[in-house]
Amino acid sequence: MAITTVPGKHVDIKMWTRAEDVEPQAMQQLRNISSLPWAVKHVAVMPDVHFGKGATVGSVIAMRDAVSPAAVGVDIGCGMAAVRTSLTANDLPADLGKLRADMEKAVPVGFGAHKEAAFGTRDAQDWQQFWRGFEDLTPAVRARADRAVNQMGTLGGGNHFLEVCLDTQKRVWIMLHSGSRNIGNELAQHHISVARGLAHNSALPDPDLAVFLAGTPQMAAYRHDLYWAQDYARRNRAVMLRLVCDVFRKRFVKIGFDEPISCHHNYVAEETHFGEEVLVTRKGAIRAGLGDLGIIPGSMGTGSYIVRGLGNPESFESASHGAGRRMSRNKARQRFSRDDLIAQTKGVECRKDTGVIDEIPAAYKDIDDVIANQADLVEIVAKLKQVICVKG
């Protein structure tokens, strides 16, 4: 679709969706972001855009010598991982319940954690170096060390999921969505609070958009913690993927796996755009540089896409992170019933109880429409449809 441009206060707002399809609260947030004096060129808005804390989910912001923690999101490093297996649909058992149970046994969900470290002794030196970085995080989280260790390789709840999918060639994929667990959230909340108290943020239209400035100790502390949490999230997905692949290896002895695909969609990156070195925050957006492989999931009943980036400079080489919510969790719980959930997840081995009604497919935008709206940002590599979905 053609880019929709909305005038902003400091920079314009460029959207890969129609302005009338953006909820008023989210549009106000975009206007607030556009007023930030550190923003460069424009704010890029993905087709899955919706209201978030401080900054909208589905927004990409390039800043000069500044970064806003709320423009990253509270689940630092949240993202996706997927791997195609050598299996086909015919290799899967008719009753998928046992396979789902084995996956849930291997990967704790919700508030669950491993009883002992799940990353084992593989690459021990690398892991030791990573965990030493915990000692240099803000003192506000130092007491969480043991929990951070035991939550490495766990799914969490909410919109996080672990799936077995089939592509249009009936090849079996394993796919998952998760982030930096509670440690990333605590780091984000701490730094948002610190930023709100800085003098240069006193006149912002929304205190949650508070920024850190380059060359300050607060920025240095945030970037240290941020990059550690992003690494935690990446490793968390890699450990989970290994645990699930081990489940499949036990059941399918001759199984093979392609190279995994992994991508953040709540993160900061140092990049060059329009000839300028900037700090890019992608909150609910993936990098879609030329040739970059990415994952754009739908809801727990509608399927997902593997995509390849086209490197569009207008989006700061970005694309959407998923379908995006069309209604809040509370509204979904009020509007839909367990019977609705059962009907909308027909054919998927998954939870069908009231505890996940807020994740019902109808609470999300149409993933096919979202993909169509960003045809100039990504090309489709594979379309997947889940047959198993594990939720926390």
User: Is 92 one of the annotated binding-site residues?
Assistant: no
In this prediction, residue 121 carries a pLDDT of: 61
Q: Are 243 and 106 within 8 A, CB to CB?
A: yes
Tokens at residue 336, please?
């839909």
User: Is 323 one of the annotated binding-site residues?
Assistant: yes
Tokens 């030493």, residue? 132
User: Is 298 one of the annotated binding-site residues?
Assistant: yes
Q: Are 336 and 362 within 8 A, CB to CB?
A: yes
Q: How many residues does the chain have?
A: 392
Q: How confident is the prediction along the chain (392 residues), in pLDDT tens digits per residue?
A: 679 999 999 999 999 999 999 999 999 999 999 999 999 999 999 999 999 989 999 999 999 999 999 999 999 999 999 999 999 999 999 999 999 999 999 999 999 999 988 886 667 889 999 999 999 999 999 899 999 999 999 999 999 999 999 999 999 999 999 999 999 999 999 999 999 999 999 999 999 999 999 999 999 999 999 999 999 999 999 999 999 999 999 999 999 999 999 999 999 999 999 999 999 999 999 999 999 999 999 999 999 999 999 999 999 999 999 999 999 999 999 999 999 999 999 999 999 999 999 999 999 999 999 999 999 999 999 999 999 999 98
In this prediction, residue 328 carries a pLDDT of: 92
Which one, of 303, 384, 386, 302, lies nearest residue 344 by Cα? 302
In this prediction, residue 1 carries a pLDDT of: 66
Tokens at residue 87, please?
């299996």
User: Is 123 one of the annotated binding-site residues?
Assistant: no
Q: Is 169 helix (H, G, I), strand (E, B) or coil?
A: coil
Domain 4-326+364-391 has CATH 3.30.390.50: no
Rounded Cα gap, residues 341 and 78, in angstroms = 26
Tokens at residue 15, please?
């959207």
CA atoms within 13 A on the CB side of 20: 0
Which one, of 117, 146, 79, 90, lies nearest residue 282 by Cα? 79
Q: Are 40 and 278 within 8 A, CB to CB?
A: yes
For residue 379, the tally of other CB atoms under 10 A from its CB is: 11
Rounded Cα gap, residues 267 and 305, in angstroms = 21
In this prediction, residue 125 carries a pLDDT of: 85
In this prediction, residue 120 carries a pLDDT of: 67
Rounded Cα gap, residues 76 and 284, in angstroms = 11
The amino acid at residue 61 is I
User: Is 163 one of the annotated binding-site residues?
Assistant: yes
Rounded Cα gap, residues 238 and 226, in angstroms = 19
Tokens at residue 135, please?
């000692």
**Considering just the CA atoms, what is the radius of gyration of the chain in Å?**
20
pTM: 0.95
Q: Is 271 helix (H, G, I), strand (E, B) or coil?
A: strand
Q: Are 85 and 172 within 8 A, CB to CB?
A: yes
User: Is 265 one of the annotated binding-site residues?
Assistant: yes
Q: Are 359 and 323 within 8 A, CB to CB?
A: no
Measure CA of the first residue to CA of the last residue in the chain; give whole Å.
36
Q: Are 378 and 308 within 8 A, CB to CB?
A: yes
Residue 264, phi then psi, degrees to nearest 5: -75, 155
In this prediction, residue 151 carries a pLDDT of: 96
Q: Is 347 helix (H, G, I), strand (E, B) or coil?
A: coil
Rounded Cα gap, residues 100 and 113, in angstroms = 18
Where helices occur in 163-216 by DSSP H, the ranges are 181-196
To the nearest 5 percent, what fractions of the chain are helix, strand and coil?
35, 30, 35
Catalytic-residue membership of 321: yes
CA angle 230, 233, 234 (to 5 degrees): 90
Rounded Cα gap, residues 16 and 1, in angstroms = 7
User: Is 166 one of the annotated binding-site residues?
Assistant: no
User: Is 297 one of the annotated binding-site residues?
Assistant: yes
In this prediction, residue 122 carries a pLDDT of: 65
CA angle 316, 318, 324 (to 5 degrees): 135
